[in-house]
Structure 1
Amino acid sequence: MTTPEPLERFTPIFERIRAGAAQRERDRVLPRDEVRELAAAGFGALRLPPDGAGRGVSLTAFFELLIRLGAADSNLPQIWRNHIAFVEDRLQPGDGRSEHWRKVLAGGAVVGGAWSERGTATGQSTTTLTEDDGGWRLTGTKYYSTGSLFADWISVTAPRGDDHVVALVDATADGVEVVDDWTGIGQRTTASGTARFTGVAVDETGIYPFHDRAPYQEAVYQLVHLATLAGTARGAHLDLVDAVRARSRSYKHGLAESAREDAQVLAVVGRVAAAAFAAEAAVLRAAAALDGVADLAIAGGHDADALAPSLHAATITVYEAQVAVTELVLQATTLLYDALSASALDAATLLDRHWRNARTVTSHNPRIYKERLVGNWHVNAVPPSLGFDRAGAPGGGS
């Protein structure tokens, strides 16, 4: 679990973020200041080794903090999703370039991502990375570029010859354009829109073979979604408690003069609280399963075949959590209305944002695919898909 020092540092920040979350949602104000405050406080460096300005926290401790951030504003964890995965990549054994990027991250830099393209089959890319006078130039258009509008650096996937690579692009470089044209029903302030790259200069220091990513990175990506969902449920519960306490009247069929004393209303609050609790527990159980795999991978000395059994088992745990958490959070964010009656339907309450955000996150990587993978593992011992081909091109997902 999270140690006292990070909790003490970030709890006041989370409280300030929650205080402005509804207003940002109402006016579609992007949380630029909030992202920068978190970065300045070292949120993006928590997983880095203590000797490099990090805190060396475990995955479990980090995801506990991420859930708390999601309870404050469920847009924020998703904004950090690509950054979180990039950090895990740079923790892996490798050459001196990773040390360079660890210093960049320790300095408070934020990394976004631009991987997905429209109208192409999974693993295909129309983006180009071409050699130019001893350097490289990146050209292409990406979608679902979550976090990139807030970032200092953007990780972009592209083919280079017969291989696929991840290229780090300076977000302020000439030829970079990131647009907040995300039109989804939820997660409206994540700026998960379009990123365009037109002949952008890329240094060799920031180009990595796609297969050099952390072997457990797909599970980390999914776990960020799950932490976002668990945080959404907790945030919905907090708003529900506030709303019930504030109600001055009861329904005509109620059991008490006020909602806060009505046993039926209190039971609904209890069910929402229990769903939020169960979602959190599932996420932290999955994070704990992944912690051991991450430690082995970061320590090195294990080839892919030796790591595979532990990696597959931990990934299945994450996928099982995805199926369970999806159901719990969608129920919780719908059920809360049963305790509040028609007044809760006023758009000004913004209570609907919890369901919209949950529905949006669960649609990025639909649970139906994970249900099949989990079932196939248990019945036929078929290892789960890791979301990408370790030998080649990136897979889909957002």
Structure 2
Amino acid sequence: MTSVDHAHALLPDSAEFAALLAEIGAGASDRDRNDENPFDQVIALKRAGFGALRLPERFGGPGLTVPQLFSTIIDVARADPIVAHIFRTHFWFVEERLRTADEPTSQAWLAKVAEGKTFGNAFSEKGANAVGSLVFNTRLLPADGGYRLDGEKFYSTGTLFSDYLTVAATTDHDSVATVVVPADRTGVRLIDDWDGFGQRRTGTGTTVFSDVAVAPDELLSDSPYDAEPEPTVQYASLQLFIHAVVAGILESVVDDGVALLRSRERSFSHAVAERPTEDPLLQRQLGEIASTAFIARAAVLDAAAAIGAATDSQTATGVPDADLATEAQLKVAKVKVHLDAVAPEAATRLLELGGASASSRTRNLDRHWRNIRTITLHNPVGLKARAIGQNLLHGTALPANAYF
């Protein structure tokens, strides 16, 4: 297991962290083309203290603000969106523990985060239940003074690379419980079977739990299905993470666009300039792609600031101001609706900067479109846009689920 060397923990604005991201980025295209898991790169970020960036000093971290964290996530995604995506559930877990940081249980888990431990996701299941339903086939039942966990999960993003797994299950009294178990505990099986055409090596596969022992202090929550939801921005943060990855990919698209044009020595006989770098049409297209990337980062950071404001308004019980929470949720939803429209197009227009040679498997430029399109499919943009419109017209509350 990996632990943070606090003497060598890297701040995001340091030259050392920039060098680490450059090293991660240098191999990103080859890893994607060769379908390789980025174990070494994830370990390097763990050791650099990436997973502990939000911890305040009293818990052993640098105490980054929410916007500072999301700016760093964009930077990591620019280097490698696969590596960035792996940490998505981890940062949600950290925010949830910070929300209840006065509780001894949360403090114990935050100490693990400070040590460099990371937390993966085992929530979703295949089957007939609606996506996002709180009814699970995975069961948590009393046994031996604790519990036993049995079931099968899918879309377990980051689990393959994590030290601990957060698992949602149905209890013997038909409530929903969340537990945390070590990834290497007896009875836990991680299956690397995610077969998406993009974001391929995020460990988003099957996780099987067979008679897994769960201690009482590993139970995080146990709530009735029909419990009245509290105002929260933790799920908005979980969604904004996806958009931050897209923003990072767009910045990588710009990087590759510059390199692609500079690598070209000839153009078409009917082009308006002899060299592609001097062609005003290609210059304009590159500028438009760069503008899309710029607005993507700005929009993500604006929504992150709204999440930060709501987070700062939280009461001692971890409940934020309802109006600030709603504002943050709406901003995050609007970021998705916009990026879903412009990001895939930008990745497509990158290929037009190089013509047929841009389709070379060696260049692997299609990975940007594949990664963007895959990660934008996490929730339907049409339903997000409709929820925004309903709120504007009728003041309709946003759905109380993990997609907002």
The bucket for the TM-score relative to the shorter chain is over 0.9
Q: Does residue 200 of the first structure (1) align with residue 206 of the second (2)?
A: no
- The corresponding residue for 2:161 is 150
Q: Distance in 1 between matches of 2:182 and 2:11?
A: 32
Identity %: 36
Provide, for residues 331-381 of structure 1, a one-character-per-residue CA deviation record: whole Å limited to 9, x for no partner: 110111221111111222110000000000111112111101110111111
Q: Distance in 1 between matches of 2:317 and 2:230?
A: 16
Q: Is the 8 A contact 2:99 2:318 kept in 1?
A: no
Q: Among 110, 120, 127, which residue is 1:119 paired with?
A: 127
The code of the aligned residue for 2:236 comes to A
Q: Does residue 264 of the first structure (1) align with residue 281 of the second (2)?
A: yes
Q: Among 113, 120, 145, which residue is 1:105 paired with?
A: 113
Q: Distance in 2 between matches of 1:101 and 1:70?
A: 26
Could you say what secondary structure the match of 2:54 adopts? coil
Alignment of 1:204-215 (within 5 A): 204-209=216-221, 215=232
Q: Is the 8 A contact 1:173 1:200 kept in 2?
A: yes
Q: Distance in 2 between matches of 1:199 and 1:302?
A: 33
Change beyond 3 A, Cα 1:140–1:98: same
Change beyond 3 A, Cα 1:353–1:210: farther
Q: CA offset at residue 33 of structure 1? A: 0.8
The code of the aligned residue for 1:18 comes to G
Change beyond 3 A, Cα 1:172–1:230: same
- The corresponding residue for 2:71 is 64
- The corresponding residue for 2:247 is 230
Q: Among 289, 292, 303, which residue is 1:275 paired with?
A: 292
- The corresponding residue for 2:332 is 318
Q: CA offset at residue 10 of structure 1? A: 2.2
Q: Among 300, 305, 308, which residue is 2:316 paired with?
A: 300
Alignment of 1:83-102 (within 5 A): 83-93=90-100, 94-102=102-110
Q: Is the 8 A contact 1:75 1:190 kept in 2?
A: yes
Q: Is the 8 A contact 2:97 2:109 kept in 1?
A: yes
Change beyond 3 A, Cα 1:384–1:213: closer
The code of the aligned residue for 1:16 comes to E
Q: Among 124, 139, 150, which residue is 1:139 paired with?
A: 150
Alignment of 1:43-62 (within 5 A): 43-62=50-69
Instruction: Show structure 1 runs of 5+ residues with no match.
Output: 389-395
Q: Among 100, 125, 129, which residue is 2:140 paired with?
A: 129
Change beyond 3 A, Cα 1:302–1:110: closer
- The corresponding residue for 2:7 is none
Provide, for residues 142-176 of structure 1, a one-character-per-residue CA deviation record: whole Å limited to 9, x for no partner: 00000000000000101222321111011011111
Q: Is the 8 A contact 1:81 1:221 kept in 2?
A: yes
Alignment of 1:174-185 (within 5 A): 174-185=186-197
Aligned length: 384
Q: Does residue 218 of the first structure (1) align with residue 235 of the second (2)?
A: yes
Provide, for residues 112-137 of structure 1, a one-character-per-residue CA deviation record: whole Å limited to 9, x for no partner: 00110011313221001111110111
Q: Is the 8 A contact 2:246 2:343 kept in 1?
A: yes
Could you say what secondary structure the match of 2:51 adopts? helix
Q: Distance in 2 between matches of 1:250 and 1:104?
A: 56
> Structure 1: which 4+ aligned runs deviate by more than 3 Å?
210-214, 301-304
